[in-house]
A and B are shown apart, each in its own frame.
Chain A
Amino acid sequence: MSFNETKMENQTPQSFSAPRHWIAPEELNSSYWADSKNVEKRGQEFHDKPVEAIALIDKLDTKGLARREFLTIMGASMAMAGFACARRPVHKIIPYVVKPDEVTPGIANYYASSDPETGAGLLVKVREGRPVKLEGNPDHPVNRGKLSARQQSAILDLYDPERLQDPQTVDRATGKKSVATWADVDARVVAQLKAAGNGKVRVLSGASVSDSSRRLVGEFLSAFGAGSRWVEFEPLAQDEIVQGQEESYGAAVLPVYRFDSAEAVVSIGADFLGTWPNSVQYASDWAKLRKLDSKKSKTAEMSKTFAFESLMTVTGANSDYRTPIRPGDELKVALALANQLILQQGRSRFAGDGAVRAALESYKPEAVAKEIGFDAAVLAQAADALWAARGKGLVVAGGLESKSKSAVALQNVVNLLNSALENEGQTVDGNAAPVARPSAGFAGVKQLIAEMNAGSVAVLVLHRTNPAFSLPASAGFAEAVKKVGLVIQVSEQWNETSLLSDVVLPDHHALENWGDARIRKGVTSLQQPTLAPIYATRSFQDSLLTWIGQGKLGASGLAARVANAAENTWHDYVVANWKETVFPLAGGSFQAFWETSLRDGVFVQKGVAGAHASARSFRSSALAKTPKYKAESGVKLALYASMAQADGRTSNNAWLQEFPDPISTVTWDNFVAVGPALAKKLGFSANDVAKVQVGSASMEIPVQIQPGMHGEALAIAVGYGRKVAGKVGTGVGVDVFPLVQIEGDSLAYSGLSAQISKTGKFYKLAETQWHHVTENRPIINDITLAEFKKNPAAANHTDPHLRMEDVPTMWSKHEYKGYRWGMAIDLNSCTGCGACVIGCQAENNIPVVGRNNVRISREMHWIRIDRYYSGSAESPDVVFQPMLCQHCENAPCETVCPVLATVHDDEGTNNQVYNRCVGTRYCSNNCPYKVRRFNFFDHWKSYEGSMNLVWNPDVTVRSRGIMEKCSFCIQRVQKARFDRKNKGEKIVDGDIQTACQQTCPTDAIVFGNINDPESRVSKLHADARAFRSLEILNTRPAISYLSKVRNKNGGAAQHHGGEHHG
């Protein structure tokens, strides 16, 4: 096919012909190519993959390969040819003599897969064999087509040019690394493994949700005798929940919470909408009970959410009643709540339970409320709400910021409450969790470190973990590991731990690897490669199999069989394991079962998945260790996982570094969040650098003044300050893992007594929002549920100028026959999580601009989440407003563009014509929403080498000097148009999902044809809550917002003036 043949022209520097596709203009003149460095530079992007792909295919051909495998490689090699051609001479490609049916250039293929970290179902958009976008798999019962910002950004890691590309051997003394061949490395490893001796091999990895991997590792270790253990460690593991479950109910499981039926929710330091591993599912469940229909306003019901938290989280920001507390006070609050409910109000069957009474006695609600400094009435209200909704309520706790030394005790009280309120077995489902798995908490690592120190570890295999960074120095991992004979790290990135290893083996990226995941009982998802490995990488599992095979290590079971068989790849192992373990649940022909599962990406076992839970009985004994109430004082520190960085494993992902934190809007740095009161007391102003000290450890870090934080609370995000991460991630922010305290067998991240003092230094944080109140402007509206019931349109009358429908126009308006695109955004559903921001970035080729450009407000995100506070600075209300091009009918930007570079089309969208734009920036000046983004530099140049493969071929990459902005994903509109046209049909509602809408966990964003009265969007536009931002200007936006409704008493529609929290 000509598509490829054109790419086959020989473009060696000697006989130069200008490349048809080029990255930078200079590539068009031969002198550029004459410089061997340049040729090489391009070369590095793709190595010699095409060649190796051939080799691989030859190999596969001999034994007849699986259809998809063939496809993948076919597509991949085609992509390589495609991309290599623009950059370097291509010797071999696979011409489409026989084109595989599935691949058509220009048409995307979607492959179902799953994310090995969280087990979320993925739909991978592949163009010419090149994954370009991740979307959630709608068939996956857990994330139901939705992804978080972090999951969206995983695609960028795949193309990170700084990924490990070859096996490395490291001189541990000097940390000097040198490239090795797989053969040498394997030989060395196998030799050491054989020599290891009984029980002297350890595998340390992140928590794994893959049954196949678990089985393989188990079998691998079985070759080294009893004592050879597998240790899992996750800094963000919710092991305190698991442990609490074990103590309260006897089974160590991570329960599944059913927020979609929780009418009253109390979160005690649990950020289930933001940083919890399953936040996507929980947010979408939670939002189901926040949807309102103005037509049924009289009978409207909405869940009620209470949050007690030590820092402002997405969950707190979205709750109806938010109470700031000190880090470490979570247990007190939980006990006070229990006391209120069970003792004061004498409710529930535990009212008579002596053990319970004994534990709760001393936690008088008034006393606790007084000590922490909030109104005890909140506890009463919470208790009432929970009791009123018993069986349909939920109390949750857990997460890094509440992981104090009393974290497990907290869980027990929470379990008590849920049992007392009969939520256990209803909204708390202990059975839905997959089979019990070892906790990924600190205990295991602690023991491992001890063993290493004792010299009883000969070989340590590290996989998807970075203990040298994420463990506090006091844990002594670095010293202990020195005593290990051979340290093997299997990793995608070169990181801190690599320096402590002997061999560092490049791992596949999730999109290059096979695998499976089980995060719910009866829900098993498959992970399949969507392109051939870009670099000379090998999956962790393949390595294990190779070693087992080469070393004849005598591993047990399937591993041995596969390893010694002709087909000895990890793929074969997964297939075999599924055949043995999953297939029996389905029946039928295995081939059919396997292909269906691959296509769907997930196998759901009827009857088991989502089966109704059964209540477990609470053991009061779990409360035995509860301490007596004792008032404390002093500043306490909470470490938390930020939405962007989590534990810092993705530091080298520029999208995430530039992802504005939903609450602080800070990018590219972490900071110590200080409440206004405390800041005033200590004389801090924003961007001062503070010295924070916990015990002996201390560090300097910039201050962010965070409304809604307790007067004695500090909070700092972990996952920053990586020392060995790469060009993007190294040295961004401050590493606070050293502040983590070891409390017995667990780590305390919260409730740490801290001193904070001024340094007199100044450091400007790169915020995307500088001003935080609306100054009473008609931008957003919020009302209480009571007001809504009275009059659903109440909010829209908070400003007399709103509602401009009836304003006469001086001229006849343009008519929009046919389609007219519009959007509706429900502020009541939007949690501000920011998944849409990264979804849009991935879809629309939005570059990153770097910290300094963000500092002077030059960020490029087409959709931003505006966050406004109202009420008092100590305990403000929060409302989020996704702000993107409003596609105004009377667009102010269009009128002023001298060259007609931004104009309306006949479907009501405001289009930006990049080629015509000369960059006067007048349009941006005249845009009341300031949603236009100007390319001050050739930002795309920051995408180096292989990273250029992430560009979405359906969207122009913008050059310097031109304006850009949200296009309503016009490429998706066009695709839907053509798909329908080919069938001779019209576009119907639901055909088009914009990138932001597609990934929004709470379905807050709806896009569609507002000329069609039946479409969801036009129904929402007609809703009484609908209003348009700055309607007073008569710009007539195509986007309607639905006003925020808070399920709380009193407080007429919030005035958004408030005092200045800037």
Chain B
Amino acid sequence: MSNASQTSPQLAGVVGFFDNPGTLLQATAKVRDENYQSWDTFTPYPVHGLEHAQGLKRSPLPYVTFVAGLTGGTLGYLLQYWTSAVSWAINVGGKPFHSGPAFIPITFELTVLFAALSTVGAMFFLNGLPNTKKKIVDPSITRDRFAILIEVPPSVDADNEKAVARQARFKKFDESEAKSLLQKLGAKDIRSVNAEGWF
């Protein structure tokens, strides 16, 4: 099969499977040091420490949450203030038009609502969900297998110096080299994946 893949014009990348998270972790660290431009790992459940091994930056979601929460709370309070004291001020039970304390519960609820919904929305966005383009690497991954995928970097337009320069900073992708790397790192089953295979 490897021969076939070598001749393939639209090679997409090389995937190697590991049967437990431990070996995956070590392997991932190595692959990271190889400084490939585009690669990723796949696991049936979140493996702790993998993000470090993979050298991922901390997720920006908490900031989203914070800002959204503030917005929700502010809007919530303003809505209550405006409707009760500005738009149509009515004497209710002798209470002041601007009954601050009574507005707190709803302010709080709206803070949480905005924060939660924006967080999830942002998460979907960052993860490219719903994902319609990329097919799954292998059905077994959501069951019990762990994989590292080293991808062929996207081809760039030669005139675009920036892109060229950027790509130059990474290790150049070579199929056999990648395969042997994975081999070396203890991957059980190593495959070249073709574009038509999953793109």
Contacts and interface: CB of A to CB of B under 8 A. Distances in A.
A895 B92 contact: yes
8 contacts: A811-B96, A814-B91, A814-B94, A892-B93, A894-B92, A897-B92, A904-B90, A904-B94
Contacts of A894: 92-94
A968 to B, nearest CB: 16
B94 A903 contact: no
Interface string A847-890: 00000000000000000000000000000000000000000111
Interface in A191-212: none
Interface in A894-908: 894-895, 897, 900, 903-906
Interface residues of B, number: 7
Contacts of A1036: 94
B133 interface: no
Interface of B: 90-96
Contacts of A905: 91
A898 B118 CA distance: 28
Contact of A906 (B91, B93, B94, B96): B91
B91 A904 contact: yes
A903 B92 contact: yes
Interface string A797-816: 00000000000000111100
Contacts, number: 35
A892 B92 CA distance: 9
A900 B91 contact: no
Contacts of A895: 92-93, 95
Interface string A897-921: 1001001111000000000000000
A890 B95 CA distance: 7
A903 B95 contact: no
A904 B96 contact: no
A787 to B, nearest CB: 34
A827 interface: no
B96 A812 contact: yes
Nearest to A905: B91
A891 interface: yes
Nearest to B88: A900
A351 B96 CA distance: 74
A892 B94 CA distance: 9
Contacts of B96: 811-812
A602 to B, nearest CB: 46
Nearest to A811: B96
Contacts of B95: 811, 890, 895
Nearest to A809: B94
Contacts of B94: 813-814, 888-891, 894, 904, 1036
Given A888-B94, A895-B93, 14 more contacts: A811-B96, A814-B94, A890-B93, A890-B95, A891-B94, A893-B93, A894-B94, A900-B90, A903-B91, A904-B91, A904-B92, A904-B93, A906-B91, A1036-B94
Contacts of A903: 90-92
A811 B96 CA distance: 7
A900 B95 CA distance: 13
Nearest to A815: B91
Nearest to A891: B93
B184 to A, nearest CB: 69
Interface string A260-287: 0000000000000000000000000000
A891 B96 CA distance: 13
A719 to B, nearest CB: 45
Nearest to B102: A895
Nearest to B83: A900
Nearest to A889: B94
Task: Give the residue among B90, B92, B94, B95 with the most A Cβ atoms within 10 A.
Answer: B94
B93 A900 contact: no
A904 B97 CA distance: 12
Contacts of A811: 95-96
A775 B96 CA distance: 35
Nearest to B98: A811
Nearest to A895: B93
A894 B99 CA distance: 14
A781 to B, nearest CB: 25
Nearest to B100: A811
A426 B32 CA distance: 120
Interface centre among A892, A897, A904, A905 (most CB of B within 10 A): A904
A812 B99 CA distance: 11
Contacts of A904: 90-94
A892 B93 CA distance: 6
A717 to B, nearest CB: 43
